[in-house]
Amino acid sequence: MAVRAAWLTTRGDSAGGQTREDTRRVPLGTMTPVGEWQTDPGILPGAGGDQTVIGGLRLYRTGPMTCRVLGGRAVVQGTTEQGAYPVLVDNPVPLPVENGDATNPRVDLVVLRVYDDPYDSSGRTEAAVEILQGTPSPRPTPPEVPPCALPLYEIAVPAGASAGSGGIDWGSALRDRRFPTVAVGGIVPAGTAAGRYAGQYRDNGRALERFNGRSWGSPLEDTGWQPMPLGGSVQNISYAPCHIRRIGNVVYLRGRAEKRPGLAEWIWPDQVIARIPEGLRPYSGSIYTFAAARNRIAQYETCRLEIKSNGELYCMSGKVGQTANDELPKWVSFDAVSYPAT
């Protein structure tokens, strides 16, 4: 049997109902909620023997007016009362395309569809891959996706297309309508725009994103740049004020601080340059040191910054115990300084 569906009342073949093999092979665990009683439909990513985002249920041409859909697994959502059907296509499904209209082109739609007679009065209880024929028109549109079905591909059928006339230009005729789904908590592949619940993750092709219930964004907490509180002996340099920012568990600094006018012009090691706010401080008991740019007698050199776990930031310059003014900075730069936070 090429197309199998689980949780049908009867399956319409000699076995009758859902077999143990059906249960083992259909994607029973792929259930992402999109409502109290509904499941996010779609195709399992990577299914179909390759590593593409959506490898399953691929369509290949087999002739001028024929094609086939290869294997894969999917979840098809019916009405709220029906629930969702796990579906497996375990053998290629051949599909003939009807000849084109004599005058106008049309667009056909390939779907994976579940028929369940107690709900749709179709007289059928099975899953199928099939082509829904579109209406010929100067500007054709594909048929609407029926209930309890997944769109797979659109096929553009030119006017007058037939096997004898050369058939369909398969290289340009197909439009991929497949979309992926994963189990709740799974990472949705690139190309999936819909966010289903706060805390959902997706791979946008470059990095991970997190859905906050309204929009997609970085999964790391980002405070944005905030003014950094300075010690009483220093002030911001107007063209480069000091800021602090936390992204995930890393804190970043930027800007420059200089000695306040009217005070001794040098920044001494025992003077607090900045006070790091709580939540942005190093781990308790830790001291982080960094090399930072400084100005010493109109020359650019480096000095050592020290950040304590209580949030106090000092400029430690020269050798221990050395107090010569020519070893002390008049200003320091925090650009490119970062450290792990609590």
Q: Which position has the token pair 């590593």?
A: 51
Which of these ranges, 10-24, 174-188, 207-221, 301-315, has the smallest mean pLDDT? 10-24
Question: pLDDT, tens digit, for every residue of 288-319?
Answer: 666 555 554 444 456 677 888 888 888 776 44
Phi, psi of 305 (to 5 degrees): -95, 145
Position 162 confidence tier, pLDDT thresholds 50, 70, 90: very high
Is this structure's pTM higher than 0.75? Answer: no
The H helix count followed by the E strand count for the chain is 3, 26
Of the spans 12-26, 240-254, 256-270, which averages the highest pLDDT? 240-254
pLDDT of residue 1: 61
Q: What is the DSSP string of 42-108?
A: EEPTTTTTS-STT-SS-EEEEETTEEEE--EEEEEE--TTT-EEEEEE-S-EEEEPPPPPSS--EEE
CA distances from 272 to 223, 228, 259, 314 (A): 24, 13, 11, 5
Q: Is the pLDDT of residue 204 over 70?
A: yes
Q: Is the pLDDT of residue 263 over 80?
A: no
Give the closest residue to 76 by CA, choosing from 155, 176, 147: 147
- Residue 51, CB-side half-sphere exposure with 13 Å CA sphere: 0
State the DSSP code for 33: B
Q: How far apart are CA 136 and CA 211, in angstroms?
A: 41
3-state secondary structure of 117: helix
Q: Is the pLDDT of residue 324 over 90?
A: no
Question: pLDDT, tens digit, for every residue of 9-57?
Answer: 655 455 556 777 677 767 777 778 777 778 889 998 875 555 555 678 9
pLDDT of residue 322: 46
Q: How far apart are CA 292 and CA 333, in angstroms?
A: 6
Percent of the chain predicted with pLDDT > 90:
39
Q: Is the pLDDT of residue 244 over 90?
A: yes
Q: Is the pLDDT of residue 99 over 50?
A: yes
pLDDT of residue 108: 98
State the DSSP code for 222: B
What mean pLDDT is reported for the chain? 83
Phi, psi of 24 (to 5 degrees): -70, -30
